[in-house]
Structures are given as structure tokens and as C-alpha cells.
A and B are shown apart, each in its own frame.
Chain A
Amino acid sequence: MIRSAYVITGIAVLLVSCGLVWAVERFPPPDFEGGHQLPSPTTPHPRQDIYEYIDVAVLLAALGLASYLVLKKRSRRAIFALTVFSLLYFGFWREGCICPVGATQNIVLSIFDAAYVVPITVAAFFLLPLVFTLFFGRTFCAAVCPLGAIQDVVLCRPVAVPNWAESGLRLLAYVYLGAAVLFAATSSAFVICRYDPFISVFRLTGSLNILILSGCLLLIGVFIGRPYCRFLCPYGVILRQLSRLSRRRVTITPDECIRCKLCEDACPFGAIRKPAAQWSGQDYRVAKKRLALLVLALPVLILLGGWAGSSLKAVTARGHATVRLAERIYLEETGVVTDTTDASSAFRATGKPIEQLYKDASSIRARFGLGGWFFGGFVGLVAGLKLIGLSVWRQRKDYEADRASCLACSRCFEYCPREHVRLNKTKDIKS
């Protein structure tokens, strides 16, 4: 009875609220013929520099606080509160820009284009999380990154992703990083920003395709912990490697592991490694041969990857506006298409010679050919190293948070009985 009442009330509220969407139509539309004086257009003032420095200060404070909360305070609640703050401030208030993930491209562009100067705030946004990761692990991912925060907030029914799937899917993030560097280095596009799935949510606007992508990722994120962070985030790839070297890191237990297994399924991101004993002699011999083969295959994979990346230059170069324009003009010139686009008409109106456009496009393609060697070689190297990593035996006595994969979210702490002892929670149980 009570349940039915709830449902009826809920539906009523829902219908009234939905009516609001259409109620907007009843408001008088803008009057174009009522003698309205159009205001003279003015150039909007740029955002004051001081706010950018405030953003850097907030980032610094949030990183410091996150590191303290993860490593000293070990409080999941406080981390979650900071996550919500970061989501509101860096996400909805600052509308997701600038973020360290996208800043990677600015840094790359500044390396390859001498005419491009990185603003100091952008450099700070890129470097600060890296420095903190080097010292304290991925505390940036834990509670500061707005992209991670929105996924963390929607995670409600975590489902474990099998290890084999996780290993394969993680390769995508490396490919994405390589592509982002390639396109930024060739001054073609900032693909990370262009295809950022959550910016549209933060800004409550965006193209339909990106909004659908956002919706899908958030829906998946209800069941699979942080799918973008784990399988796509290019900045996460850099943070993973630095986190391996971090001076301090997250430990599940505050002191010693009693191997109670209680934390075994605590991590929704699959970052807890179980204890593992020594291999049997038979397995060891097979693994040694496999490892030797894979080490020998590594340069082959790099070369094959480089060759494949370079062969794709005609495809990847289409990311550059000049190449796209040259191809369009070529199609028009050769009669494959009979109409024009705004871009091709604008180009023709300039009177610039088409040969020069073709020459420029060929030169950009050549740059993509060279860049493709590095991009493909990088992907080959990563795939090879991952295969080698999966063939190396890691002996472990205790339950440990994986240095690279652990997002320092602090969920696992409360599963550890030693943590309860530390917090004197055992007194309640005893009493």
C-alpha cells in the first residue's frame, strides 16, 4: 500500500516536472518586429588572469588535501567529499577546462611548434598532478580530476572486469595517448578535448554524438568502475608509470596484512593483487622460454607498429585541416564531386594557387609519415612490454594495491580489520 502510494506520488511529481519542459513554449517568444533595439555588439572581456591563478591554487590545495586524506587520514568519506567538490569546481563551475588531461596536448604542441608558448597556468595544470603522483601515488585520480570524479560519483553497482579483458582494453589508452601526441605534434587537432566525453555534461550542451557518448559512458560507469580512467584516459597512462615510482603509496592495511581475504573484492577497479606462491619448476621452464621469445619479438613488434603507423599517414593526416581541404579541392578539380563546401569556396576566394595547397598537404602527410613511425613504434613497444609483463612471475605474500592501477580512492581501507583496530572500532564490537 505504502509502496503504491510512493509510486503514484513519484509519477505525479514526474509528470508535473515534465510539463515544465513544454511549459516553456507558453512564454512569449522574442519579438522581432516590436521595435526592439538591438544592443550594439561588444567584445566580451576575457576571463581575468587572476581566476586562472586561483584555479592553480585550488588544484594545488586539492592535490595536497587528497594526498593527506589518502595517506594520513585514510578516510573514504573525506575523499568522497573532496571528489564532489572537485566535480563541482573543476567540472561544473570551471566547465572542465583547463584540465591536466587536455593540457598534455598543449605541452606537446609547445615542444614541436616553436611559435606556440604554453601559458604558465596550463603548464602548472599539467605538471602538478605528475609531481604529486611521483611522491604520493595517484591522488589526483582519487579526488581531484573532474573526469574521474563524475565517474566515481555514478558508480553504484560495481561489477568486476576479468583480468584478461582489463589487460586488453588498457591498450586503448596507450593508442589514444599516441594519437593525441601525434595530432598535437603536427598542429592538427587536440583530439582529447574534441572527444572529451564529459565536457558536454559539465557544460550541459554539446553535439548529439558526444552527448550520447557521455550518456553511454556514465551508464557503463554505474556498473564498471571508471571506464574512461581505466581504458581510455591518456593522462592516466603517464600517471600509471609515475605511480610505479612513487615515493609513498596507498597500502590496504595501515600496518601488517593478516591475509584475511576480506579486501579481496573491495576494489571496484580491480587494483588489488592477491598473494601468490612460487611457480612449480615445470611452469618456470615454459615461462622462461616464452619470456625469451617475447623479448626477441619486442623489436619486431616495434618495427611492425612503426611501419603500420607510417602506412596510415594518408588516413591520419586527414586530421589536419589543410589536408582535408586539399583532398576536397582535389575531388572538385577532378570532377568526383560537383558541388563545393564552405571551406573550398573560401579557399578559392583567396586566389591562392592550388599547387601550393597540394604541396602543403603533401608536406603535412610526410610529417604524419614520420610521426606514424613513432606512434606505431610506441604502440608496438607497449604491446610487447605488456606481453612480457604478463609473462613475468610476481611472487607476493600479502594483499597489495597495484602501484600503477590503484586510483587511491580509499575504498579498500574499511575492509581491513587492521584499519578497524587502528581506528579503535573494535571496541564497539567487543562491547
Chain B
Amino acid sequence: MKSNNDNILQKTGTVSLWYRSAVVTAVVSGIFSLIVCVFLLGNHGRSIIVKTQQETELLDLRAQSRKQPDNEQLLAQIRAMDLQIRQQRLRALDRSTKGGYLLLGGIVVLVISLKLTGTLKKKLPAPHASKDAADEQIRKAAFARWMMGAGVVLLGAASLFLALKPKIDFSLTGAAGTSLTSAEQAAKSWPSFRGPDGSGISTHVNVPSDWDGKTGKGILWKTKVPLVGNNSPIVWGDRIFLSGGDPNALQVYCFDAASGALLWTGDVTRVAPKEGEDPLEPMEDTGFAAPTMATDGRHVYAIFVTGDVGCFDFNGRKVWEKSLGIPDSSYGYASSLAVYRNLLLIQYDQGGIEDGLSALIALDGFSGQIAWQTKRPVGNSWSSPIVARIGEQAQVITCADPWVIAYEPAKGTEIWRAKCLKGDIAPSPIYSNGLVFAVEPYSKLVAIRTGGAGDVTQTHIAWSNEDTGPDICSPASNGQFVFLLATEGLLICHKVSDGTKVWEHDFQEYFRASPSLVGDKLYLLSEKGRMFIIEAGPAYKELTKCELGEDCHASPAFADGRIFIRGMQNLYCIGSSN
């Protein structure tokens, strides 16, 4: 049944023509708007796709250009591609702007014509048949209540779902803010030279004490290391990391702790010497890869005698690399790396005291950018920094001629310093029982009380024993005694309380590896690969000795039931298959 309005429309030819024109205009403008819309979306999608492909190529080229800064052809290619991308972007933007105006125009025409059709074919109101208004209101209110109730339940369920999702609890990160995983795993692992805090103390006491490299007894596996290096192995989970180098290559190796398989090899670019500069030829004893690597559980870091630093993830992907410049070091750079949270700490001591070249450098582990850098008033040294937890505070402790200096690891600000060393400082400091122990080769052992600020030379040196001091090996302490091992094989035990000598023993062998403490036992690895296991007590008592059958310079790494030892050629895993 047609309404009066329809009849009027049919009868009035002019109105009908206007109406039909409006309908056609609406259809045309609608299709037009739709097509413009499709074009705009296509333009947008195209720009995204083009951007992704070309920008990836451009990034690759840029990465290449960093390695070949003098390659003019490559630079020209980068410029051309960059220009092309910019031109495409501007064209897409221009198309998008023009298309936007066209779309707006199309929609305006569409809306006007639709409104016109509505006006030209307006229906008169047609009231519905009378219903019971009260019943209708009750029914509608009931529906609305149910709807509202459903809405409330839906909101509640959504809130509950979101509230129950796992969330990050910042308070669980501990007072120092160290990440949970790293802190726990670092303690279980051997993440840097001489273990988690550089003290040479193993957290695992179930390590083997009986093996023989010649018969293979107690040796789980043995794997050849591609390139030589004096650095010690570091361990994180089921991975062992080492570095090696020669004049042609600087490499990082990752081994599987279970099988000894070489999982990957990472190459660190050796920055070529500048024109007129002589290529570095380090001492044979130092080699290209003397500094021990470090890891924070996500990345592994290595530094070489050339001052080239590389960072890799656990899958062998190179995250970044950086050159600090060839260090001016008498025997070749040998300080090992340390890690504090996301910072890689490098004790970059070089030149003489007056040269002002030495610095403690913190690189951001994620980017390789310098987080902070603090100048050090010292000459070149071969000692490694340690990160010690002293009360609630972490301190980076460093030794060099003439200062022992402690720094705040997050910012690099100096906390205290003591002037007590002289000469070529190679042994690293340790922290035990409230004292920092520093060694001056052939001369003395110094104990410094922590807790001071500024120059503490006159106020915080607890004692100094000037009988002797090792020239390479770092000390070890169980809190009651400090053990010093000289390269020539003389082991001396001092009291922590006053520094007096308790006993000494001459092994008649050479040692390069630093002593390690496992429970109440002291592990001493000689250059000939003989491990002396003795009691760390008030009197000398040898418990056993084990042969590796290969010369060793590196300090061993300790893990759960395992010892990892780097020989001159091979990496050994000692332990039982159980």
C-alpha cells in the first residue's frame, strides 16, 4: 500500500526528476568515494611495503659502509637509494593529500544527495496502533535491566581477565635493582674472570678432585680451540665462552657444556691501523686474546689486545662491535672484562701516569654506546676490575700504579682511593671480610678497609705485609686467610686479621693461573697442567694432585660438578658423566 507521499511523488514529474537525479548523484559519488578510498589504502600499503624492502637494503648498505668507509661507489649507491626512498615517500604523501581532498569532496556530494533524497521522499508520520503503554514500559525496562546487568558482568569479567594476567613486580628486583634471572644465574655460573665477583671462589662444592688427562680418567670431553689465547673460560648455563686471536683474526667461541661441541664462532673486526701507523705486534706471552670475556646472561663480550670489543648474543649473532683504539701497553693489553647489570666495564689503563690516557669505561651492553667514562690517574696495568657487593652498595675496585680506586658502577663516580701500589700491576684485587686485598708484584700485600671516601691512604689501610707479592696470579681468601701464589711456585698463607704470614710452601713449579677456592680446598693449576688440591687452613696440607697433560696459562672455571680448563690447545671438561 502506497503512502500519500508516494502518490504525490509519482504525480509530480518535476519532483520525481529531482529525486532520481539525487539518487544517481548519490550512487556515483558513493562509488567515486569508494574507489578513492581503495586508491588511498593501496597508496598507503604500497608505501609501507616499499619502505620495508628498500630501507632494509639501505640499512645493509650502511652497515657495509661502516666497514668500508672509503668505498666511494658504495657511498654513491647509498645516496641514490636514500634519494629514491625520499622521493617515493614524498610522492606517496602528495597522493595521499590529494586523495584526501577528493575523498572529502566525494563524501560531501554523497551526503548532500542522500539528504536530498530523504527530503524529496519524506514519509508522513504513521503512528502505530495503540498498545498498552504501561506494559510496554515494563517490558522495555526489564530488557534494559538485563542488558545493564549483562554489561556489568562483562565489565567485571574483562577486569578479572586483565587483573589475572601476569604482571611485572618491580619490588622483586631487590634493593640493588639487579635483575632476578641474572643475579641468581650469575651466582651459579662463572660469568667473568675468577667467577661472579672476581674472587676465585666457586659457589659449587661438588666439583671433581680426581682426574688424569693422560688416561682420560675424569675427563668428560676435550675440544680443540681454533685460535690460541691466554684468556680463561667463562660459563653461563650450558654454554662456555672463550676467545682466541692471531694477527689475521679475532674470534669468540661458544661451546656446548654437555658435549664440548663448538656451537658457533663469532668474528670481531680488527680495525686496520691508520696510514703510517705500525701494526700491533703484542708480546708472545700476552698474545692477541689475553683478556677473559664476560657475560650478563644475554650477551657475551670480548676485548682483544688491539682494543677491539665485540658483543654477541647467545646464538652467535653479533650485536655490536667497537674499537677503543690500540692501547699503549708495555706488555700488551690483558685486563679482563667485568659486568655490572647492563654495563660492560673495561679497565683501559695505558701509557704512563702523567699521560692521562687511562680510563674506566662503561659500555651499554645493548648498544655498545659509552654509558660513562672516568679518567684514571694511573699508568698502564694488567689487573682486572672486580665488582664487589659491599653492604648494600656495589663497588668497582681497580688496581694500578699507584692507586687502588673504587668506583660507583652505575655512574662511574669515584668513591675512595688509596695510594699504595707501584710498578707493573697485574694481579687483580679481591674483596673479603670487609677488606680489599691488593698486590704489588715482588713487594707487598695491602689490606684496605672499605667504607671510606676520597683519599683513604692515611686512614683506611688496615695493614701491609711487605714480605713478597706475586707478579701475575691474583690472591684468594676464605675470610680467615689470604693465599698468594707467586709465578715461581711459592704459596704463602697470611692471616686476614693482621697480615702476618702463617705458612708458606714452594711447589717448585711455575704458575700463571690464579688460585681458586672450592669449599675448604684450594685449587692451584700449574703451568704444566698439574692441579694441586690443598687444604685452605692454618697449615699446609696437600690433599691430591691431578694431571691434565697439557700446559695451561688460564685460570679454571667451576660449575655444578664440573671444572672447565683451557689448555694451550684444548678446552677440557672435567667431571663425571653422572
Known: A24-B98, A29-B90, A345-B366. 10 other contacts (CB 8 A): A2-B20, A7-B28, A167-B148, A260-B127, A331-B168, A333-B182, A333-B341, A335-B297, A351-B371, A354-B342
Of residues 160 through 197 on chain B, the ones whose CB sits less than 8 Å from some CB of chain A are: 160, 162-163, 165, 167-168, 170-171, 173, 175-177, 179-182
Please judge, given known A-B contacts A10-B28, A153-B111, A274-B133, whether A21 and B39 are in contact too, CB under 8 Å: yes
Question: What's the dominant secondary structure at chain A's contact region?
Answer: helix
In the bound complex, do residue A204 and residue B104 qualify as a contact, i.e. CB atoms below 8 Å apart?
A: yes
In the bound complex, do residue B170 and residue A330 qualify as a contact, i.e. CB atoms below 8 Å apart?
A: yes
Most buried by A among B31, B102, B152: B152
Task: Considering the complex, give the chain A residue whose CB is closest to the CB of B150.
Answer: A168
B-chain residues with CB within 8 Å of residue A108 when the two chains form the complex: none
Task: Considering the complex, give the chain B residue whose CB is closest to the CB of A262.
Answer: B125
Please judge, given known A-B contacts A162-B143, A338-B298, A345-B367, whether A20 and B167 are in contact too, CB under 8 Å: no
Residue B503 lies at the interface, judged by CB distance under 8 Å to chain A: no
A62 to B22, CA, bound (A): 31
Contacting chain B: which of A37-45, A183-191, A247-255, A310-318? A310-318
In the bound complex, do residue B128 and residue A163 qualify as a contact, i.e. CB atoms below 8 Å apart?
A: no
A36 to B40, CA, bound (A): 30
Of residues 157 through 187 on chain A, the ones whose CB sits less than 8 Å from some CB of chain B are: 157, 162-168, 171, 175
Please judge, given known A-B contacts A262-B125, A276-B134, A349-B371, whether A168 and B95 are in contact too, CB under 8 Å: no
Give, as a whole number of angstroms, the nearest-CB distance from A231 to chain B: 12
In the bound complex, do residue A335 and residue B182 qualify as a contact, i.e. CB atoms below 8 Å apart?
A: yes
In the bound complex, do residue A205 and residue B410 qualify as a contact, i.e. CB atoms below 8 Å apart?
A: no
A116 to B114, CA, bound (A): 47
Contact with A along B126-168 (1 / 0, CB 8 A): 0110000110111011011111111110011001101101011
A168 to B145, CA, bound (A): 8
A157 to B367, CA, bound (A): 58
Contact size range, B = 35 or more
A157 to B26, CA, bound (A): 13
In the bound complex, do residue A279 and residue B138 qualify as a contact, i.e. CB atoms below 8 Å apart?
A: yes
Give, as a whole number of angstroms, the nearest-CB distance from A179 to chain B: 12
A383 to B141, CA, bound (A): 14
Give, as a whole number of angstroms, the nearest-CB distance from B545 to chain A: 40
B-chain residues with CB within 8 Å of residue A162 when the two chains form the complex: 140, 143
Residue A299 lies at the interface, judged by CB distance under 8 Å to chain B: no
Residue A3 lies at the interface, judged by CB distance under 8 Å to chain B: yes
In the bound complex, do residue A334 and residue B182 qualify as a contact, i.e. CB atoms below 8 Å apart?
A: yes
Contact size range, A = 35 or more
In the bound complex, do residue B133 and residue A275 qualify as a contact, i.e. CB atoms below 8 Å apart?
A: yes
A70 to B299, CA, bound (A): 70
Residue B561 lies at the interface, judged by CB distance under 8 Å to chain A: no
B-chain residues with CB within 8 Å of residue A387 when the two chains form the complex: 145, 148-149
A359 to B174, CA, bound (A): 11
Residue B372 lies at the interface, judged by CB distance under 8 Å to chain A: yes
Residue A51 lies at the interface, judged by CB distance under 8 Å to chain B: no
Residue A327 lies at the interface, judged by CB distance under 8 Å to chain B: yes
A3 to B165, CA, bound (A): 60
B-chain residues with CB within 8 Å of residue A135 when the two chains form the complex: none
In the bound complex, do residue A11 and residue B31 qualify as a contact, i.e. CB atoms below 8 Å apart?
A: yes
Give, as a whole number of angstroms, the nearest-CB distance from B183 to chain A: 10
Which residues of B line the A interface, CB within 8 A? 20-21, 24-25, 27-28, 31-32, 35-37, 39-40, 43-44, 83, 86-87, 90-91, 94-102, 104, 111, 114-115, 117-118, 125, 127-128, 133-134, 136-138, 140-141, 143-152, 155-156, 159-160, 162-163, 165, 167-168, 170-171, 173, 175-177, 179-182, 297-299, 313, 319, 341-342, 364, 366-367, 369, 371-372, 410-411
In the bound complex, do residue B179 and residue A330 qualify as a contact, i.e. CB atoms below 8 Å apart?
A: yes
Residue A296 lies at the interface, judged by CB distance under 8 Å to chain B: no
In the bound complex, do residue A157 and residue B342 qualify as a contact, i.e. CB atoms below 8 Å apart?
A: no
Give, as a whole number of angstroms, the nearest-CB distance from B204 to chain A: 22
In the bound complex, do residue A208 and residue B44 qualify as a contact, i.e. CB atoms below 8 Å apart?
A: yes
Task: Considering the complex, give the chain B residue whose CB is closest to the CB of A359.
Answer: B170
A-chain residues with CB within 8 Å of residue B43 when the two chains form the complex: 21
Residue A309 lies at the interface, judged by CB distance under 8 Å to chain B: yes
A333 to B83, CA, bound (A): 38
Which residues of A line the B interface, CB within 8 A? 2-3, 6-7, 10-11, 13-14, 17-18, 20-22, 24-25, 27, 29-30, 32-33, 153-154, 156-157, 162-168, 171, 175, 204-205, 208, 215, 222, 260-266, 274-280, 283, 301, 304, 308-309, 311-312, 314-315, 326-327, 330-335, 338-340, 344-345, 348-349, 351, 353-355, 358-359, 361-362, 376, 379, 383, 386-387, 390-391, 393-394, 415
In the bound complex, do residue A277 and residue B133 qualify as a contact, i.e. CB atoms below 8 Å apart?
A: yes
In the bound complex, do residue A358 and residue B125 qualify as a contact, i.e. CB atoms below 8 Å apart?
A: no
In the bound complex, do residue A348 and residue B341 qualify as a contact, i.e. CB atoms below 8 Å apart?
A: no
A18 to B148, CA, bound (A): 47
Give, as a whole number of angstroms, the nearest-CB distance from B184 to chain A: 11
Please judge, given known A-B contacts A163-B143, A205-B100, A262-B125, whether A311 and B159 are in contact too, CB under 8 Å: yes
Give, as a whole number of angstroms, the nearest-CB distance from A156 to chain B: 4
Complex partner residue of A353 from B20, B83, B177, CB under 8 angstroms: B177
A90 to B87, CA, bound (A): 35
B-chain residues with CB within 8 Å of residue A383 when the two chains form the complex: 148, 151-152, 155
B-chain residues with CB within 8 Å of residue A301 when the two chains form the complex: 152
A123 to B347, CA, bound (A): 58
In the bound complex, do residue B173 and residue A358 qualify as a contact, i.e. CB atoms below 8 Å apart?
A: yes
Complex partner residue of A362 from B97, B171, B341, CB under 8 angstroms: B171
In the bound complex, do residue A17 and residue B134 qualify as a contact, i.e. CB atoms below 8 Å apart?
A: no
A421 to B432, CA, bound (A): 102
In the bound complex, do residue B115 and residue A348 qualify as a contact, i.e. CB atoms below 8 Å apart?
A: no
Task: Considering the complex, give the chain A residue whose CB is closest to the CB of B31.
Answer: A14
Task: Considering the complex, give the chain B residue whose CB is closest to the CB of A360.
Answer: B170
Give, as a whole number of angstroms, the nearest-CB distance from B299 to chain A: 8
In the bound complex, do residue A355 and residue B160 qualify as a contact, i.e. CB atoms below 8 Å apart?
A: no
A10 to B106, CA, bound (A): 12
Give, as a whole number of angstroms, the nearest-CB distance from A309 to chain B: 7
In the bound complex, do residue B168 and residue A330 qualify as a contact, i.e. CB atoms below 8 Å apart?
A: yes
Task: Show 17 residue pairs from A and B whose CB-CB distance is below 8 angstroms, ordered by the A residue.
Answer: A6-B28, A7-B24, A13-B28, A17-B32, A18-B39, A25-B91, A157-B118, A162-B140, A275-B133, A277-B134, A283-B134, A330-B170, A331-B168, A345-B366, A351-B411, A354-B342, A358-B173
Complex partner residue of B298 from A14, A156, A262, A335, CB under 8 angstroms: A335
A331 to B31, CA, bound (A): 49
Task: Considering the complex, give the chain A residue whose CB is closest to the CB of B98.
Answer: A24
In the bound complex, do residue A165 and residue B147 qualify as a contact, i.e. CB atoms below 8 Å apart?
A: yes
In the bound complex, do residue B341 and residue A354 qualify as a contact, i.e. CB atoms below 8 Å apart?
A: yes
Complex partner residue of B118 from A13, A156, A312, CB under 8 angstroms: A156
Give, as a whole number of angstroms, the nearest-CB distance from B146 to chain A: 7
In the bound complex, do residue B91 and residue A24 qualify as a contact, i.e. CB atoms below 8 Å apart?
A: yes
Give, as a whole number of angstroms, the nearest-CB distance from B109 to chain A: 10
B-chain residues with CB within 8 Å of residue A332 when the two chains form the complex: 342, 366
A-chain residues with CB within 8 Å of residue B44 when the two chains form the complex: 208
